Structure 1
Amino acid sequence: MGRSGVESLEDELLALSGLDGVVFMRIFIFSLKVFSIAGAIGIFVLLPVNYLGDQLRDIDFSDLPNKSLDLFTISNVKDGSNKLWIHFSAAYVITGVVCYLLYIEYKFIYFKRLELFNTSKPQPHHFTILVRGIPLHDGASLNDIVERFFMEFHPLTYLSHIVVHRTSKLHSLITDTKNVYRRLTHLRSTSDASQRSQRGGCLGWFGRNVDPVDDYAKKLENLEENLRLEQSGISMAGQEVPAAFVCFKSRYGAAAAFHIQQSINPTQWVTEQAPEPHDVYWPFFSTSFMRRWLSKLVVFVASVILIVIFLIPVTFVQGLTYLDQLETTFPFLKGILEIAIVSQVITGYLPSVILQLILSLVPSIMKLFSSMQGYIAYSEIEKSACSKMLLFTIWNIFFANVLTGSVASQVQIFLDLKDIPRVLAIVVPAQASFFVAFVVTSWTSLSLEVTRLVTLVGDWMGRHCCRCMDKEFHTPSIPYHSEIPRILLFGLLGLAYFILAPLILPFILVFLCIGYIVYRNQLLNVYLPKYETGGRFWPIVHNSTIFSLLLMQAIAIGIFGLKKLPLASGLILPLPVLTLLFNEYCRKRFLPIFRAYSAESLIKKDREEQNDPAMDDFFHKLLTVYRDPALMPIQHSSNERNSPLLYSS
């Protein structure tokens, strides 16, 4: 694809999936560039050097069939051989390539984010902040307290505010109302009224025939009446949360209020950037400051427990890769395991398939954990879940498979920093065949992504087995929190095994090529974005890639020490230092724009729109755009009664 083709695709992605969709596809493009170069070096340079070595042939020539993969690894190069300097040079080359491409991508997304801001229309979240920890005063309402505070300390830029209410009960009523309305709509669409009739007695066996349409219509009217009563009383004492969305007349005014501590007491008048109105996670506001703090502690403990629990299936999976241990544990399987095909399936593909299936359950758990931490936006929940999922994947899929023993023994390995390179150099090469099989089995997940077979089966069962014919269809959004960590895991595997076992690189390249084609189609034709972070997932990608580079360099230091080439180990030491310096430069140069826009950008944008007549209409809509959807009137039934909502700004 030519340069113009790439740009037209990115423009189309930007229009349909936002900058987050562009960033997601840039992960594939970046990875393809890296592993195309790494694959060329690994297959055409390192692989022949490894194969022509004679370390393993001298050691165990009779076991050659079982060491077919090991012949293509650095283990086959003789200790102290000058050929190891080729691997040394490859480590420097790939580090330079990855850092250069990382810089190019970070710079590209940096300017894309600025361009998106400079060309965008006024967005409500650019003019709004969320204020929490509002101090209460006897005899004064939250509305008066907020207005008095901002009129005193931000008189020139303050516009209005919306106090947040506790609406968890309302959201439950709205859900019930929508479910009954969808059921009623489905029943009314049934052409034959006789098929709709049912007996109204016990278990539907006794009583006269009744039309369920009338029954559901009555239920709908009752639910709407309860909803109106609840909405009318929502502004009563005790129903407000000490939090408010505060709107300003300019972007700079909102940014200044966000960045400056508002009170002498830092736990009061705490400010946060407001998310997009449709991105707000309203259930969060029912939690207090203390509950949010405790929930973070609970989530941390729960995450540690999840990691420990997940080690059980990992240990089982690793047990499947060793036939001798399996035969000892289950003697009755000895005859079956001696069959070549069965042994190859059990030791080769079955462990990876089991691991993939178990791993598919984790993203939803991580998303639940993040939702418990008090984030105010769905995008923040997914971003947090993405970071949790990445840490979980790196530890439980990579380290838990290459290291043996309990959690305590695994942690103990990393307490002695000097011993880490040696340990990694010993244990990582031993799992090369397992991770090759893991990458190959991951191709299946891409085919499932194209067909969306799991979703299709679930929908079919819901409609035909559970009789949920009235179930509302929602256009799916791409689960960044599960897909980004998976791609980054393959990046870690590719870099970790680049020097050790380059045979894994073609399999990773195939995965990336298929993934690029599949997800390009999904983003253009299947998924619909639910929020826009402006590319804030990229710093996670950058940091993960830097970690993968450092891991590769640590393994290189250890492997050259084991192969009795200490000079190479010593000369590799500058690489981690240079990599960390590069990371620090990128953090200073590019990261600030992903946290907040500069005063220069904000003021320029404000001045451009200063005399725009459309801004009056925008500010008028801004007064109510952060109103809780649960407080909006709902009228599905034919009943014309509709009490006005009691709502105060």
Structure 2
Amino acid sequence: MLVSALLTSLGINSGLCILFFTLYSILRKQPIHYEVYIPRLLAEGSSKRRSNFNLERLIPSTGWVKRAWKLTEDDLLASSGLDAVVFMRIITFSLKIFVFAGIIGIFVILPVNCTGTQLHEVDFADFSNNSLDVFTISNVNSGSKWLWIHFSAVYLVTVFVCYQLYYEYNYISLKRIAYFYSSKPQPHQFTILVRSIPVPAGTTVSDSVERFFREYHASTYLSHTVIRRTSKLRSLANDANKLYRRLTRLQSDPNQEKYKRVRLFGEKVDILDHYEKQLEDIEENLRLEQSEVSLAGDEVRAAFVSFKSRYGAAIACHMQQSTNPTNWVTEEAPEPHDVYWPFFSSSFIRRWISKLVVVVTFILLTILFIIPVVFVQGLTNLSQLEVWFPFLESVLTM
């Protein structure tokens, strides 16, 4: 690689970093993105949405970087959870490796590489068009004992990386265990999701689940909830959530207009009262729909099964329940807000095809990403491409 190519790459990456830094600094201040950047503060009520225009939102700032690094791990754990702590540990781990390898490279390996004879042939007047190979191991003379410095440096960096990985693994594992024991037990930790439940003729899904787990997990089984088709109920719940967010936004912003025309030629009404009445109607419809679903809703061959202990749930989740692996398929129950209800109605084959589509899509995206990368890397090694692919000589010459 030429020195000019390295400087160009450095400039492009630095420019992209500044661009992304600027975009993040601006986008995080926009009210429309509050659910993305501060969802926990909004849920707890610690921060409110401000929709009135403010010029400061369009000016990038750097204060958040200093505040982010000043937080201790305990503060970060309390405000953002364990995932944020692990993410920050990954960043600090990467910085440690970069600093250590940089010190070894600059103060140990680079002076050794400069002891060779190739530097005498370098034209420093046209330094930007020189190859960086003169600063690499290729500059070390054949048979030189300085070559052992390179091998020792590689082993030293490898040992340091392995030690850091071992230390970080133990540290995060202990943090995770401590966080697990200090947090309150959650219902999904005692629950598993059971799919593809076989239902004999004349019985229901609920009867099959009750009979099966009473027989094979009698000491730990607690209760179960059969999943039902609730498309209308979900639609009403989504409408209620949207209306509730609108109502909350209006109540939190005193500058918003309170009277609007509901219809094109209708009279102006108090929009707060209008939304409250709509929300009451939706809540009433929700209660009616819930009672209908609980009495006569179509059952799906899936259920959430709860146990008396987390150990009992773990045993039932990780052992095969039937000689037929496509029946009584168990997995850990997701958290309530992570459940995608429409997927329960799909068959085993449909779920298998969906997983296959995801894998194929991932492979295609990876290939599409590799193609431009290989092309760009190939442009930096045209002479090597001419050796590997002689039939491209005319194209590469151009």
TM-score, L = length of structure 2: 0.66
Separation in 2, partners of 1:297, 1:143: 31
Match of 2:293 in 1: 234
> Residue 286 of structure 1: CA displacement?
3.9
Q: Residue 266 of structure 1: which of 309, 315, 325 is its match?
A: 325
> Residue 94 of structure 1: CA displacement?
1.1
Say whether the 8 Å CA contact 1:57–1:64 is kept in structure 2: no
Asked if 1:163 is matched to 2:226, the reply is: yes
Q: Alpha carbons of 1:162 and 1:303: their partners in 2 closer, same or farther (altered >3 Å)?
A: same
Q: Residue 243 of structure 1: which of 302, 327, 332 is its match?
A: 302
Separation in 2, partners of 1:104, 1:193: 54
Separation in 2, partners of 1:78, 1:262: 67
Q: Alpha carbons of 1:183 and 1:12: their partners in 2 closer, same or farther (altered >3 Å)?
A: closer
Match of 2:65 in 1: none
Task: Point out where structure 2 has 5 or more consecutive residues left out of the alignment.
Answer: 1-68, 390-398
- Identity among equivalent positions (%) equals 60
| Deviation larger for 301-310 or 141-150 | 301-310
Q: Residue 295 of structure 1: which of 354, 359, 366 is its match?
A: 354
Deviations 1:596-637 (A, max 9, x none): xxxxxxxxxxxxxxxxxxxxxxxxxxxxxxxxxxxxxxxxxx
Q: Residue 214 of structure 2: which of 141, 145, 151 is its match?
A: 151
Within 5 A, what are the aligned runs for 1:476-625?
A: none
Match of 2:239 in 1: 176
Q: Alpha carbons of 1:199 and 1:97: their partners in 2 closer, same or farther (altered >3 Å)?
A: closer
Structure with the greater relative contact order (CA < 8 A, sep ≥ 6): 1 or 2?
A: 1
Separation in 1, partners of 2:270, 2:139: 76
Deviations 1:425-448 (A, max 9, x none): xxxxxxxxxxxxxxxxxxxxxxxx
| Deviation larger for 293-302 or 81-90 | 81-90
Aligned residue for 1:211, secondary structure, equals: strand
- Whichever residue aligns with residue 84 of structure 2, its letter is G
Task: Point out where structure 1 has 5 or more consecutive residues left out of the alignment.
Answer: 1-5, 326-402, 410-649
- Whichever residue aligns with residue 167 of structure 1, its letter is T
Say whether the 8 Å CA contact 1:190–1:196 is kept in structure 2: no
Asked if 1:20 is matched to 2:83, the reply is: yes
Q: Residue 105 of structure 2: which of 39, 42, 45 is its match?
A: 42
Q: Alpha carbons of 1:309 and 1:144: their partners in 2 closer, same or farther (altered >3 Å)?
A: same
Q: Alpha carbons of 1:185 and 1:62: their partners in 2 closer, same or farther (altered >3 Å)?
A: closer
Q: Alpha carbons of 1:138 and 1:197: their partners in 2 closer, same or farther (altered >3 Å)?
A: same
Q: Alpha carbons of 1:251 and 1:63: their partners in 2 closer, same or farther (altered >3 Å)?
A: same
Deviations 1:456-511 (A, max 9, x none): xxxxxxxxxxxxxxxxxxxxxxxxxxxxxxxxxxxxxxxxxxxxxxxxxxxxxxxx
Separation in 2, partners of 1:85, 1:193: 73
Q: Alpha carbons of 1:94 and 1:80: their partners in 2 closer, same or farther (altered >3 Å)?
A: same
Q: Alpha carbons of 1:233 and 1:75: their partners in 2 closer, same or farther (altered >3 Å)?
A: farther
Separation in 1, partners of 2:290, 2:307: 27
Match of 2:200 in 1: 137
Q: Alpha carbons of 1:122 and 1:74: their partners in 2 closer, same or farther (altered >3 Å)?
A: same
Q: Alpha carbons of 1:122 and 1:179: their partners in 2 closer, same or farther (altered >3 Å)?
A: closer
Separation in 1, partners of 2:257, 2:94: 61
Separation in 2, partners of 1:163, 1:247: 11
> Residue 251 of structure 1: CA displacement?
2.6
Separation in 1, partners of 2:293, 2:117: 79
Asked if 1:253 is matched to 2:312, the reply is: yes
Rg (Cα) greater in structure: 2
Q: Alpha carbons of 1:239 and 1:93: their partners in 2 closer, same or farther (altered >3 Å)?
A: same
Separation in 2, partners of 1:72, 1:194: 68
Q: Name the count of aligned residue pairs.
A: 316
- Whichever residue aligns with residue 155 of structure 2, its letter is Y
Say whether the 8 Å CA contact 1:129–1:274 is kept in structure 2: yes
